Chains A and B, each alone.
Chain A
């Protein structure tokens, strides 16, 4: 069995961690640039807010917070990481920005970062590795036990379309409007091990499933599972992986707060799971959320009918109010609620800017300004 799975690290319950994959763009034309390795090599940073790491191509950089008990802690870490990165990028004439895809970069121009793991991915997946220059937010929620992590992985699954719609920030691909709110997940879907976690009883059954995949030669490590949500034994967390990197750290924090409140609610109420049923509609619902965002129609396998995502999300926010209160993150949830009511998303904002400027270079320029400036607590999309 893989060593990573031998021991599930116990975490304090519901602690949070956030990883953001960010774009490195040139201030000359706002196309993606290369230079992550040298940038990282020149950063003088003591790790007080978390880590700054390489991602698969030289045009990406990943920041990850320390484990924090509250969303406010995450916000502080993300702000510290952002300032550190902005300072160093300014010294190297690079602009950092959020967004799930770069609207017009050319993927063959991307360069794989040095490193054994990246080389191995490029060797295994060929051009898909370069096309994987897409930018996501991963949210970790701490679990007290491995069995709890498996339960939560399945309990959170039906809510993934809501996370997708709230974080959607990738409407443009290859210089054209994809008509998707989140086109980024289409790049992820190309990988053979993407998708959903199967129905699992407990950690022992997960080990059994993993060992089976390993014996079939499909996986080597937990990182090979590109599931929408997956357990992360070395951190002692479940990891939500469906979100686009938002254009602001405020939205990224709010999404983390939503994950924490939802996990709190689920663990508090322990609803009966219908994983097998939800697996039938998971891909459809995910497509709906990616394609239409807040206007998606979700399939409810229990009621056997379609329900508007916006309605489901509104109900969820109402249900989570009490849990958010307990966790001290109501104001973050409130921001998401406002954005839902106003139907304002980062994807919508990007499209508006495109209509205004009629060119995507200026859209990325403004996205960079938006990421670097303190936008306050407003997620409604005003620049």
Chain B
């Protein structure tokens, strides 16, 4: 479509080139910076418009912008442009995964066993319900049903963090949503590594890959995470706590980990999550504990969700797999809400239900995990993982709204409380 629009321009340009020798060849590809800025503007405009007119979380707008301009619909963001923007999306996802890893507070579980029971219930029920649905109802093979479950069992850390931040939510429900999201992600990554081996075992006679690939992913991510966390802590210790220089060190170490993970084909989301977790556990002197991500991470997050929106396979949508994706989301939702309402403990039932609703999002991590798996055996994987990808596509739009709803219903956002009560009599 864009080629049609630009063909007269190209012709004129090439005609001019014959006389103006300094002109470069007609640019076939958008410069990365220009692409970055266009994605940013498009995402920002749609996000802000939806926020202002309907009060929707901005994340929904970014995803919709990507979907609208992506290959599935208008095609203005080409597949090549998506590949070009992928490093930025990886960096954004990496930083958000780093943050959710830093929020993984296992000490809290020691003080509150109800949370541990709730998380175990959520993880096991979600995996089981999705696996059985994909295997028995949709008819996927056990390996791909397990892959679908691994991809969709956890909440979406990036969406949850951004929604919480946007709503300026704080409180017991918010903290539980973040904790269960972090723990669920950790469990999903473990299952993901196992599933990698299972998929290899099913589709290849070579057992070496089935054994070594999961180890490569897990040990590679662990090693990279450890090295990046050590580096951040070592350099960070030389600088004043909470200083801007420390922020730069944290971001630089994270980007280094992202880059090396990409070079070695180790999942970025897993590496950065582990790096965050190590920073949370190994920082005895609290060198970087108080150092927060700069507000600029929102810029990267916009690109991430525009890219995620553009990557969603709406072109594969059929009524049948649409219904199947909704079915998957329903059993997943039921599993999560039941687990937390049943064994979530220590909060009143209504609040536990809100925690269950707050952890419904499914987004970037699932999409990237699905593409990692699908990339192993593209001829099978893409169709086998259409189900979780479509589920993620739907939840990319519904998930942030559900999370925001839970935060508001819990009464933990600042703005809603103030609007109702504020003013000077």
Contacts and interface: CB of A to CB of B under 8 A. Distances in A.
B103 A38 contact: no
A93 B286 contact: no
A28 interface: yes
Interface string A355-383: 00111011001000000000000000000
A41 B241 contact: no
Contacts of A29: 289-290, 292
B425 A124 contact: yes
Contact of B241 (A90, A91, A123, A359): A359
Contacts of A35: 170-172, 175, 412
25 contacts: A27-B105, A28-B103, A28-B289, A33-B170, A35-B171, A35-B412, A42-B346, A90-B111, A91-B111, A93-B105, A109-B170, A111-B414, A112-B417, A123-B421, A123-B422, A124-B425, A126-B423, A358-B240, A358-B241, A359-B240, A359-B242, A361-B241, A361-B286, A361-B290, A365-B286
Given A112-B417, A112-B421, A123-B423, A91 B112 contact: yes
Given A91-B112, A93-B105, A124-B424, A38 B173 contact: yes
A144 B241 CA distance: 55
Contact of B424 (A28, A123, A361): A123
Interface string A85-116: 00000111100000000000000110110100
A55 interface: no
Contacts of B422: 122-123, 126
Interface string A33-77: 111011101100000000000000010000000000000000000
A119 interface: yes
A122 B241 contact: no
B262 to A, nearest CB: 29
Interface string B221-243: 00000000000000000001110
B347 interface: yes
B381 interface: no
Contacts of A91: 111-112, 114, 346
**Most B CB within 10 A of own CB, among A34, A357, A358, A361:** A34
B111 A93 contact: yes
A92 B172 contact: yes
A38 B351 contact: yes
Interface of A: 27-30, 33-35, 37-39, 41-42, 58, 90-93, 108-109, 111-112, 114, 119, 122-126, 357-359, 361-362, 365
A119 B346 CA distance: 27
A251 B240 CA distance: 33
A42 B345 CA distance: 10
B351 A119 contact: no
A108 B418 CA distance: 10
Contacts of B418: 111-112
A257 B114 CA distance: 41
A37 to B, nearest CB: 8
Contacts of A111: 170, 412, 414, 417-418
B412 to A, nearest CB: 7
- Categorize the interface residue count of chain B: 35 or more
B206 to A, nearest CB: 46
Interface in B266-290: 286, 289-290
Closest 10 CB pairs of A and B: A126-B424, A90-B111, A38-B172, A359-B241, A93-B108, A361-B290, A91-B112, A34-B170, A35-B172, A35-B171
Interface string B397-425: 00000000000000110100110011111
Interface string B148-174: 000000000000000000001011110
A109 B414 contact: yes
Contacts of A39: 172
Contact of A38 (B286, B347, B424): B347
A125 B168 CA distance: 23
A58 B289 contact: no
Nearest to B414: A111
A114 B107 CA distance: 30
B348 interface: yes
B100 to A, nearest CB: 13
A38 B171 contact: yes
A105 B295 CA distance: 18
A365 to B, nearest CB: 8
**Most A CB within 10 A of own CB, among B292, B348, B424:** B424
Given A92-B346, A361-B242, A362-B241, A109 B168 contact: yes
A134 B361 CA distance: 37
B290 A359 contact: yes
Contacts of B286: 361-362, 365
Contacts of A124: 424-425
A375 to B, nearest CB: 22
Contacts of A58: 171
A244 B170 CA distance: 26
**Most B CB within 10 A of own CB, among A33, A91, A114, A362:** A91
Contacts of B103: 28
A341 B425 CA distance: 49
Given A35-B412, A112-B418, 6 more contacts: A34-B171, A42-B348, A92-B112, A93-B111, A111-B412, A123-B424
A28 B105 CA distance: 9
Nearest to B412: A34
Contacts of B351: 38
Nearest to A361: B290
A41 B348 contact: yes
A178 B232 CA distance: 33
A93 B175 contact: yes
Contacts of A34: 170-171, 412
